[in-house]
Amino acid sequence: MSVSDNYRRITEKEAERLAPMYAPSWKDPSIPKKQRSIVSKELIAAKNGHWIAPYRVYVDLVGKAAEKIGDCFRVLDVGCASGYYVEVLGMKTWWKELRATYTGVDYSTHMIEWAKEFYPNEDFYVAEGTELPFADNHFDLSIDGCCLLHVVGWRKQLAEISRTAKSYVMLHRLPVTKDNGGIRHFIKDAYEIPCIEIHFNAEEIANVMMSLGFSLDTELLLSDHGEYESRSLLFRKIGG
């Protein structure tokens, strides 16, 4: 089964009109089991030294922020799914040495149920990325974990994630157009469930983040998909 297929290009106005219909797509109860069946194999491979690019890049960028912050490093992961990135981080000795803490958020009750089952010692919450139940500057690093691309109101979500971040914001697995064209919207099937996907303009993302008080620190390429690339971007708070 392909995770994502059947892409159909739509306009921004169509995406705004269809957003209420497709916004709940990732709450579908069939998705956690399908996703976890893939993730379980990836985690086993990682433990045996074979890291896929998303895991490697995630750890590299989190590690770079952690190096600057030091002890008691606090991480928020928005769009955490079943929480598997905390297991990825736990494969690194520096994560435990820093006494780092991980908090996961997902708007899917089903995803969070799975997360709590797999990682009962971690903190997980059901919440929208546009309305996070945390104080300003509560986390050293706040991450959008491959969630923003499905949110038509992405600017509001970026603002909310940035609000919770004391020092760093990371946008993980962000689809970015290669020709610096405008933002592109699609309907696709993800785990056989229709949803919206957005491909971003790198300059616009940087400008929005700058308006929120963050500048680009590091950008890493995960994969090339022809008309767009999957990238992860680490932003640092200006003056922080």
Per residue in 122-173, pLDDT (tens digit) is 999 999 999 999 999 999 999 999 999 999 999 999 999 999 999 999 999 9
The pTM assigned to this predicted structure is 0.96
pLDDT digits (tens, 9 = 90+) for 83-123: 999 999 999 999 989 999 999 999 999 999 999 999 999 99
**Across 174-198, average pLDDT:** 93
Q: Percentage of the chain with pLDDT > 90?
A: 94
DSSP-assigned states of every residue in the chain: --SEEEEEEE-HHHHHHHHHHHGGGGG-TTHHHHHHHHHHHHHHHHHTT---HHHHHHHHHHHHHHHHH-TT-EEEEET-TT-HHHHHHTTSHHHHHTT-EEEEEES-HHHHHHHHHH-TTSEEEE--TTS-SS-TT-EEEEEEES-GGG-TTHHHHHHHHHHTEEEEEEEEEEEEESS----EEEEEEETTEEEEEEEB-HHHHHHHHHHTTEEEEEEEEEEE-SSEEEEEEEEEETT-
Asked: is 4-237 a CATH 3.40.50.2300 domain? The reply is no
What's the pLDDT score for residue 127? 98
Average pLDDT, rounded, for the chain: 96
In the predicted model, is pLDDT for residue 1 greater than 60? Answer: no
What's the pLDDT score for residue 2? 65
**Across 203-207, average pLDDT:** 96
Residue (of 83, 79, 10, 88) closest to 45 by Cα position: 88
What's the pLDDT score for residue 90? 96
Residues 6+ apart with CB under 8 A from 97: none
Residue 181: band (very low, low, confident or very high) from pLDDT cuts 50, 70, 90: confident
Q: What is the largest CA-CA distance in the chain?
A: 48
Residue 236: band (very low, low, confident or very high) from pLDDT cuts 50, 70, 90: very high
Domain ranges of the chain: 4-237
What's the pLDDT score for residue 179? 77
